[in-house]
Amino acid sequence: MDKMWSGRFSTAASSLLDEFNASIMFDRELYMEDIEGSLVHASMLAKQGILTHEEFEQITDGLHQVKKEIESGEFEWKISDEDLHMGIEKRLTALIGDAGKKLHTARSRNDQVAVDFRRYVLKKNRVITQALSELMEAILNVAKEHTSTLIPGMTHLQHAQPINFGFHLGAYLAMFKRDIERFQSSYQRNNISPLGCAALAGTPHNIDRKTTAELLGFDGVSVNCLDTVSDRDFALEILFNISTMMMHISRLSEELILWSSYEFGFVELSDAYSTGSSIMPQKKNPDVPELLRGKTGRVYGSLMGLLTVMKGLPLAYNKDTQEDKEGVFDAVKTAEISLEILKEAIKTMTIKPRNMQKACEIGHLSATDLADYLVEKCGIPFREAHFITGRAVAKGEELGVDLSKIEYKYLKEIDERIKEDVLEYLDLRYSMDARVSEGGTATQRTKEQLEYFENYIKEFKQ
């Protein structure tokens, strides 16, 4: 009968219940947030005259002692304490006596856990955006080197139009920038303090929520206590934000896997970020991007898990909510290591512009340019131009020659209106550089885009 809540019980909890009910083996991750929250709560109670100055000092010393014990590994995490909140409070009371029992005045574990978990999520929002900006920088540095390196732009994984590799990487910079913004907007929306909501309805004690909010680094105080102790949308937001980010990471990973295959040969991942086969001595496997792609599924699982936990809960706190943490911890750890290793893999990979160029010479990438030529230079309606170009492509196929290399005489045979200056239009580099519309692939446009992202990263750093 050593439970903090055992007053109304006559039989001790079964050890099976202890094991089933406990969160202490995973919520200890929040020990820092929990102790900081308690320190601030105690200081407010003292300021409001609810605790004496002496009690406040004892609590402060005691909490620092507990923190030390946790950090040195001395602290005994016991399943029978149920969760970290009670584990810490119990140890505090063992250390300082009666004053420890006063700490929980005007507070419930319901607002306490909401404070701890929210602050953890907010902190990780920051950590992840920082790591995202570093990943962006690594991508940018490669992109800047390759604003005239031709690569086949694809749709349906089929050769479509020539683009440059810097432009291709620029697409990922755009995605990761939006990811950063998504984390930032979640941060702003959720940066409000639950402390003082108590169990669900507030407290009759004369507390000061503004002060505790400020001391804990929140922008303000939550509006409705019932909502604050029960909702977990801040946790769902980080799961969604990580999921979306991982989806982008997974798409890039998929391309790295393709690009490092013999069929593409566009990049070679560094040995430091590749693995071998236990049976085939010649192999070099792209395990890093493959695992990134795989871990994306696991993060989606955590998002779906918490959405499902939350969907049928009546107001306010329900124990189901305790299931909110492990998925978030796991997703955050996955995000952190994923961002780090992807950044390193990108920094250390070798780009193979010659293979990219060769790939551009297959699949008639400048076909659209021939159609555009027919429209622009010959005044032929686009539909008809499309048809004529189709015939030119068929001729190329028949000759086994790419449209960018076809001899003028064959084109003239197809349509008299085609003049010799067409050859310039069919040149792959010309084709890439012709796409000068805003956001287009032309080298000059690509450079502008990369400058935009470079400025964004610079501003982010400040």
Q: For binding to ligand ARG (CB under 6 A), which residues are involved?
A: 23, 27, 83, 109-110, 113, 317, 319, 321-322
Residue whose pair of structure tokens reads 């950090």 in the numeric block: 71
Q: How far is the CB of 88 from ligand ARG (least distance, A)?
A: 12
Q: How far is the CB of 189 from ligand ARG (least distance, A)?
A: 22
Return the residue nearest ligand ARG (CB atom): 83
Q: How far is the CB of 120 from ligand ARG (least distance, A)?
A: 12
Q: Which is nearer to ligand ARG, 22 or 371 (CB)?
A: 22
Q: Which is nearer to ligand ARG, 87 or 153 (CB)?
A: 87
Six token digits for residue 278: 């236990």
Q: How far is CA 242 from the centre of its chain?
A: 4
> Could you give the 3-state DSSP secondary structure of residue 220?
strand
Q: Which of 267, 132, 246, 249 is nearest to 187 (CA)?
A: 132
157-162, long-range: CB < 8 A, 24+ apart: 158/363, 159/359, 159/360, 159/362, 159/363, 159/364, 159/365, 160/365, 161/365, 161/366, 161/368, 161/431, 161/432, 161/435, 161/441, 162/360, 162/365, 162/366, 162/428, 162/429, 162/431, 162/432, 162/441
Quick check: is 230 catalytic?
no
Q: How far is the CB of 321 from ligand ARG (least distance, A)?
A: 5
Please tell me the distance from the alpha carbon of residue 238 to that of residue 303, in angstroms, as a whole number.
Answer: 9
Please tell me the distance from the alpha carbon of residue 51 to that of residue 33, in angstroms, as a whole number.
Answer: 22
Which of the residues 156, 168, 248, 278 is marked catalytic? 156
Q: Which is nearer to ligand ARG, 30 or 151 (CB)?
A: 30
Q: Which is nearer to ligand ARG, 186 or 230 (CB)?
A: 230
Q: How far is the CB of 99 from ligand ARG (least distance, A)?
A: 23
Quick check: is 146 catalytic?
no
Please tell me the distance from the alpha carbon of residue 51 to that of residue 394, in angstroms, as a whole number.
Answer: 88
Q: How far is CA 161 from CA 237, 294, 335, 457, in A?
A: 37, 30, 34, 29
Residues with catalytic roles = 156, 277
